[in-house]
Amino acid sequence: MPGMENSARHPSLPAFDLYKMIPARLVYKNSSLKILDQRLLPDRIVYITEKTAAGVAKATRDMALRGAPLIGCAAAFGFALELRRLAPASAADLQKKARRTANLLKAARPTAVALFYAADRMLAKALAFAAAHPGRLGPDAHKKLFSMLDREAALVTSEDEAACEAMGLHGAKLLPKNCVIMTHCNAGALATMGIGTAVGVINTAHKQHKIRHAYSCETRPYLQGARLTIWELMREGIPSELITDNMAAHIIKTCGVNAIVVGADRIAANGDTANKIGTYGLAVIAKHHKVPFYVAAPTPTVDTEASDGGEIIIEERSVREVTYVQNVCIAPKGVKARHPAFDVTPAALITAIITEKGVISPVTRANVARNLNK
């Protein structure tokens, strides 16, 4: 049984019933970070162990873990374990090593702002500690520094969990009874340390008996919808079906879809939203069919320095992820291909953005700012 496989590999992790509990995504313990390898889901539950920030950054870049809030939480833990490993000798050394570590983590992926938010938050803590402890750092100072960083990383994680719960409740209120809902990519528990953002909304509404049916788009090329989201929906007992991305318009037109909810990797100050490639197309289809289009994302997803979506960097990933499916080449040898991993949905196509602080609707620059200041 996969759950047993998990605890057999890592006796410190509890055995779990695959279909009742969400596997732990990150386990931070004994100066290491165990990361659930999402590349192997849903077939196998395997953890990889990282002991350095470089290892966490590589796991992030290689998509062993993914999903905006989760890569932020991993970066926070990666920062804490790296500073513990490097044991800076002085305040100046701490400043140098902290800056280098934050930069290393932030270089892992460019679009999800949660990664930058978490690394910068940890960096600010480390720099404040250096300012308060000038000169050499002995064992007592190290003890204080390491436990302060561990606490901060745990806080990043618990805030994410709480934000997911709050978004679930705010979002569920927007959905009608007998809701037929569609989602794209994976904005579920596997993308966060909580119940998920978009899938958290679906789960919460399901517990309130509001969900008649949920559709998960498969999400080419990385198949987050086919491998992760539909698995989460099934495990929650939500009536659901998997569709390929090119079925979305037909299903929306013919199957009574009355809401679409997705997550976000970065939201500009005017509400333009970067999310997994395919989200923009879905929003255009939703507009045509007058179906409300919701984005659920915690407030650290809002990048106030990006005035609009044009300022968001879109990650270009390897074209091998397009020309190969699960290690099988599906295109002619020597083919040219493209792989933008995200797209930007203009604010005008978004009915509402759901954050842990409430609902932003209509999605305007002023309303985004108002939500952030709540």
Residues tagged active-site: 265
How far is 306 from 322, CA to CA, in rounded Å?
29
Of 126 and 262, nearer to ligand MRU (C-beta) is 262
Copy the structure tokens of residue 352.
């509402």
Residue 67 interacting with ligand MRU (CB under 6 A): yes
Contacts 24+ apart (CB under 8 A), 10-17: 10/34, 10/47, 13/47
Residue 66 interacting with ligand MRU (CB under 6 A): yes
| Residue with the CB atom nearest ligand MRU in the bound state | 263
Of 3 and 194, nearer to ligand MRU (C-beta) is 194
Of 106 and 276, nearer to ligand MRU (C-beta) is 276
| Number of amino acids touching ligand MRU (CB under 6 A) | 17
- Are residues 284 and 251 in contact, defined by beta-carbon separation less than 8 angstroms? no
Among 69, 194, 271, 278, binds ligand MRU (CB under 6 A): 69
Contacts 24+ apart (CB under 8 A), 333-342: 339/221, 340/277, 340/314, 340/315, 340/316, 341/111, 341/222, 341/276, 341/277, 341/314, 341/315, 341/316, 341/317, 342/111, 342/265, 342/274, 342/275, 342/276, 342/277, 342/279, 342/312, 342/314, 342/315
Contact range with ligand MRU by CB under 6 A, out of 121-129, 130-138, 261-269, 304-312: 261-269
Contact range with ligand MRU by CB under 6 A, out of 45-53, 60-68, 202-210, 246-254: 60-68
Residue 295 interacting with ligand MRU (CB under 6 A): no
Residue 157 interacting with ligand MRU (CB under 6 A): no
Copy the structure tokens of residue 188.
């579920």
Residue 68 interacting with ligand MRU (CB under 6 A): yes
Residue 229 interacting with ligand MRU (CB under 6 A): no
Residue 345 interacting with ligand MRU (CB under 6 A): no
Of 91 and 285, nearer to ligand MRU (C-beta) is 285
**Interface of this chain with ligand MRU, residues 103 to 122, rule: CB under 6 A:** 112
Cα first-last separation, the chain: 46
Residue 191 interacting with ligand MRU (CB under 6 A): yes
Residue 125 interacting with ligand MRU (CB under 6 A): no
How far is 248 from 234, CA to CA, in rounded Å?
19
- Which of 320, 112, 106, 111 is CA-nearest to residue 222? 320
Among 119, 233, 341, 344, binds ligand MRU (CB under 6 A): 341
Task: Supply the DSSP symbol for 229.
Answer: I
Residue 13 interacting with ligand MRU (CB under 6 A): no
- Cα of 92 vs its chain's centroid, Å: 34
Among 6, 197, 216, 371, binds ligand MRU (CB under 6 A): 197
Copy the structure tokens of residue 97.
């090593």
Among 6, 101, 216, 224, binds ligand MRU (CB under 6 A): 224
Among 275, 351, 367, 371, binds ligand MRU (CB under 6 A): 275
- Are residues 303 and 372 in contact, defined by beta-carbon separation less than 8 angstroms? no
The residue ranges that bind ligand MRU (CB under 6 A) are: 66-69, 112, 185, 187, 191-192, 197, 224, 263-265, 275-276, 341
